[in-house]
């Protein structure tokens, strides 16, 4: 991804002068940049307070649980947070800072062993 974005650095810098919707379209025009990546870039580089992290594995579930007590997918969470339009990323971050995570059930995911150091340690 970085290799594809590096030659377009000047164009990416120009997105800083665009409005939120135009910046989203410009970022998503790059191959491999989708809803989640665009939102993450706009949160950090653009300071966009409404760039909610749709497409993230945990965010919609945690936010919807914190606000309703029910775990919802991206579409359900989008309905719940619509009343915060303009500040949806701020709501996401404030809930994260408050420690509003849904209860965990079941075993934790195992760590991947595809990295060389981890594979060597696992073999010992």
Extract the residue ranges of the chain whose pLDDT is less than 50: none
Within 10 A of 5 (CB to CB), how many other CB atoms are there? 17
Spatial separation of the C-alpha atoms in residues 113 and 17, rounded to whole Å: 42
Residue pair 50/87 in contact (Cβ under 8 Å)? The answer is yes
Tokens (6 digits) for 76: 């359900």
So what's the pLDDT on residue 4?
A: 72
Q: Cα 8 to the chain's mean position, in Å?
A: 22
Q: What are the extents of the domains in the chain?
A: 8-48, 50-103
So what's the pLDDT on residue 11?
A: 82
Q: How far is residue 45 from each of residues 49, 67, 82, 83, measured CA to CA in Å?
A: 11, 27, 23, 25
So what's the pLDDT on residue 110?
A: 75
Spatial separation of the C-alpha atoms in residues 83 and 86, rounded to whole Å: 9
Q: Name the burial class of residue 101, with classes exposed (0-12), middle (13-18) and buried (19+) by CB atoms within 10 angstroms of its CB.
A: middle
Segment 53-66, tens digit of pLDDT = 999 999 999 999 99
């Amino acid at each position: 991804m970085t290799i594809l974005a590096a030659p377009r650095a000047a164009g990416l810098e120009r997105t800083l002068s665009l409005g939120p919707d135009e910046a989203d379209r410009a970022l998503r025009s790059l191959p491999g940049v989708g809803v989640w990546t665009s939102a993450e870039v706009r949160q950090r580089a653009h300071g966009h307070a409404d760039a909610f992290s749709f497409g993230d594995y945990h965010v919609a579930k945690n936010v919807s649980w914190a606000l309703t007590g029910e775990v919802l997918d991206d579409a359900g969470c989008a309905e719940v947070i619509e009343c915060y339009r303009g500040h949806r990323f701020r709501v996401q971050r404030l809930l994260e800072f408050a420690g509003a995570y849904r209860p965990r059930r079941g075993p934790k995911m195992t760590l991947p062993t595809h990295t060389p150091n981890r594979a060597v340690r696992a073999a010992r």
